[in-house]
Amino acid sequence: MARVLAVLFLALAWLLPLGSAHAHIGHGKQKLELGKRAAAPREGPRGRAAISAQGSPVRLVRAGDGSYVAGFELKNTGDGPLQVYRVAIRGTDDGGPKPPVGLGIQTLPKATNVLGPGESRLYNVVWRPDQTSVTQAYGHVIVETDSAAPGASEFDPPLYLGIVADRRPAPLRHILLIAILLPLLAAAAALAARLRPAGGERALRAAATVIATLAVAASAIPVATFVRSAGVEDGNDGVQMIERAVVGGVDLFLGVDGLTAPLLPIPAVLLLACVLAASDGRVVRLCLFGAPLTSAALLLLSGQSLPLSAVGLVGAALFASMLTTTRTGGRLRPGGFKVLVAGGVASAAFLLLTHYLARATPDVIGVDGKPLELVFALPDAAREILHGHASADFRAIGLPGPRGLFVLALITAAALSFAAPFHRAPAEVVTEAESSDAALAIGALSLVGGFVLLRFGVLLSPESARWGAPAMATIGVLTIAGAVARASVDSDLRGLAGALPSATGGIVWVAASSLTPQGIQGAIAVTIAKPIAAALFILCAGALVERTGSAELASFRGVGRSAPRLAFALVVAALASTAAPGGASFWGAWLGLVGAVGRAPGVAFALAFGLALAIAAHTRLWRLFAGAPNPSWERAPALEPFGGRLPDLRSGRERAWAFVLVATLVLLTLAPRSWLSVTNHVVLDVLPIVDPPGPTQVASRSPAATERATFPG
């Protein structure tokens, strides 16, 4: 019956002009239809409100005029009359996010506001996407009436109906889920390869290369199609590429914003390069553990639900530990043991963080319109904490709630990104594990750690970030100093390749601690570039050690003459690792310095001093390129098949992994606008809190200042 009524209403709506008394097109405050409701229900028979719709949430369908429309029925199921006070799109005044512009309610003109027993009223939800730049509309219809149960002393709570409209092409509507699941096909292929005879590994490498390439393409689509002009003010909490459903009472929510969109392709790029670089006999292990690590990292980056975030982070920590674990005499070697400990610490801290966060804000409405006892959607929790709506008694680890969450985020980020006191682990892992395994694990964990610092440490509660900024700066300075000290004395080329990028990781912490738009954007930029630089550095060092049979730094010189392509890749990695001009991390360091000079001179000094230390530590690599090739190579058994000369990138696979990583770093260096401008709005949305008005304010929220405050897009 409801379907028949809805069809009839749509037909009437096509023939008759629709009333606008109940329309909400835009962001204006919605008015009650008929004054204020009484303080308590009346005596006698009472009306009861019920909503009938096709599905929950209701999916709006494209109409002939380009708008998206869906109908629903409001019915009185009680024994008395039902007064309708308001039927509108839920907005910030109702505790929800700002709805996208162009979303509103329509009903027939002169429709009655009082429904008798058994009577119903039809409404249309309409979205006009030509009024906004966003490609999706998520929200709720809120219905306020005098509905009350027989004998009750209070009115029933408002009714909510979830609504969704998506104007993206059908193949892109599940692109995030596809990107997350694709790497798992490589893990499945690895399981199959273990059951096959000789030749299975070659087929596995080919299959994994194709799968990883598809994963890179799928994860790059959100960056390419991201609407850079849309932020929180444009609706959907600033999240795009949304894939959302309630399963078993849990709100499962995928999506990206300006922080996660440019980070998303990095795990897949690392997987592709490491599959190509893995030595014979190691491809199965890399796919078994590295492919799930990639999927877990993608799940954490795109997951907007706390359960998904927890699964992603714990999975990334677990599989990275399995990938880097090596044994000597039945005992774990130090590097793998430290990664295991760091992963355990990070997992425990993050599970506590999500536990507290899920209980921080009561009365959350799910995407299907039903109230939830726990907060599952991260944007809901972030919005409530940002606006100070968290429970008054909300505390975490003995601190006021937001500050406790900030401390847990710092612990998680420090452990995963190898910040102090975990800064020694990468150098040890690189010397112990296979180069491809170490490159994938260190790169993925660095990315995940930087993401946790920025998402849950800085952007979740900017007020707490201001309180904890000195701690962020201190961790960053200690990380830079510790990594540089290790790199200054390490005689192992592989250890040097593991230690030097850790100094770049410290720059993320120092830049973020300035809490300026440029500083936060600079931290994002370094977080993107550092994993690629670290992986390229580690793979180049591993290739040199494999060729010569020696890891001693003193034995390497003249590489540029003997192997110019390999030397060029090493130079690109070193430039990106130092954040020097010409390197992919330079834009992040420069933005951090620009933002900190006026607002936090101490941070600016620490950042400049840290950059100088990192550049000085990298000068040890100069001996690899200066002078004539090492004469001892002519007698080295490992180089005998090559006539005593150091071979260049010799196979198609070696040239392929070098090209993948070098091309990515060159793109980050030469075309920063293509990826860095994506982050503008996510920074500006928290600007009034992290950078309040005053004599030291770096920028205001005005459109003109937007161009000056962030990377021009």
Is the pLDDT confidence value at 29 over 70? no
> What is the distance between the alpha carbons of residues 251 and 248, in angstroms, rounded to a whole number?
8
**At 645, phi and psi to the nearest 5?**
-110, 150
Res 329: pLDDT: 62
Helix, strand, or coil (residue 259): coil
Express each pLDDT in 272-309 by its tens digit. Answer: 999 999 988 889 999 999 999 999 999 999 999 999 99
> What is the distance between the alpha carbons of residues 397 and 79, in angstroms, rounded to a whole number?
51
Task: Write the burial class of residue 245 (CB in 10 Å: 0-12 exposed, 13-18 middle, 19+ buried).
Answer: middle
Res 92: pLDDT: 85
The model's pTM: 0.90
Express each pLDDT in 102-142 by its tens digit. Answer: 999 988 776 778 999 999 999 999 999 998 889 999 999 99
- 53-67, 398-412, 531-545, 549-563: segment of lowest average pLDDT: 549-563
Tally of CA atoms within 13 A in the half-sphere of 111 that contains its CB: 27
Is the pLDDT confidence value at 453 over 60? yes
Total length of the chain: 713
Helix, strand, or coil (residue 153): coil
Express each pLDDT in 644-700 by its tens digit. Answer: 778 888 778 889 999 999 999 999 999 888 888 888 888 887 776 666 666 555 555
Contact 614, 583 (CB under 8 A): no
DSSP labels for 506-524?
Answer: HHHHHHHHT-SHHHHHHHH
Q: How far is CA 104 from CA 4, 28, 60, 400, 628, in A?
A: 23, 11, 12, 39, 74
**At 474, phi and psi to the nearest 5?**
-65, -45
Residue 215 pLDDT class (50, 70, 90 cuts): very high
Res 523: pLDDT: 93
The residue to which tokens 């509108």 are assigned: 88
Residue 364 pLDDT class (50, 70, 90 cuts): confident
Helix, strand, or coil (residue 48): coil
Helix, strand, or coil (residue 476): helix
Q: Are strands 364-365 and 371-372 parallel, antiparallel or unpaired?
A: antiparallel
For residues 311-324, average pLDDT: 95
Sequence ranges of the domains in the chain: 2-26+45-167, 171-709
Res 25: pLDDT: 37
Q: Is the peptide bond before 171 cis (omega within 30 degrees of 0)?
A: no
> What is the distance between the alpha carbons of residues 104 and 125, in angstroms, rounded to a whole number?
6
- The residues facing 140 across adjacent strands are 162
Percent helix, strand, coil in the chain, to 5, is 55, 15, 30
Res 470: pLDDT: 94
Res 15: pLDDT: 33
> What is the distance between the alpha carbons of residues 373 and 361, in angstroms, rounded to a whole number?
9
Is the pLDDT confidence value at 450 over 90? yes
The residue to which tokens 């390439």 are assigned: 213
Res 416: pLDDT: 95
> What is the distance between the alpha carbons of residues 65 and 130, in angstroms, rounded to a whole number?
11
- 204-213, 303-312, 481-490: segment of lowest average pLDDT: 481-490
For residues 341-369, average pLDDT: 89
**At 168, phi and psi to the nearest 5?**
-75, 155
> What is the distance between the alpha carbons of residues 149 and 147, in angstroms, rounded to a whole number?
7
Is the pLDDT confidence value at 702 over 70? no
Q: What is the chain's mean pLDDT, rounded?
A: 85
The residue to which tokens 């963080």 are assigned: 353
- The residues facing 115 across adjacent strands are 82
Contact 665, 576 (CB under 8 A): yes
Is the pLDDT confidence value at 7 over 60? no
Instruction: Report whether CATH 2.60.40.10 matches the domain 2-26+45-167.
Output: yes
Tell me which DSSP letter residue 458 carries.
I
Is the pLDDT confidence value at 330 over 70? no
> What is the distance between the alpha carbons of residues 557 and 575, in angstroms, rounded to a whole number?
18
Is the pLDDT confidence value at 414 over 90? yes
* Amino acid at the residue 111: A
Express each pLDDT in 601-616 by its tens digit. Answer: 888 999 999 889 888 8
Res 123: pLDDT: 93
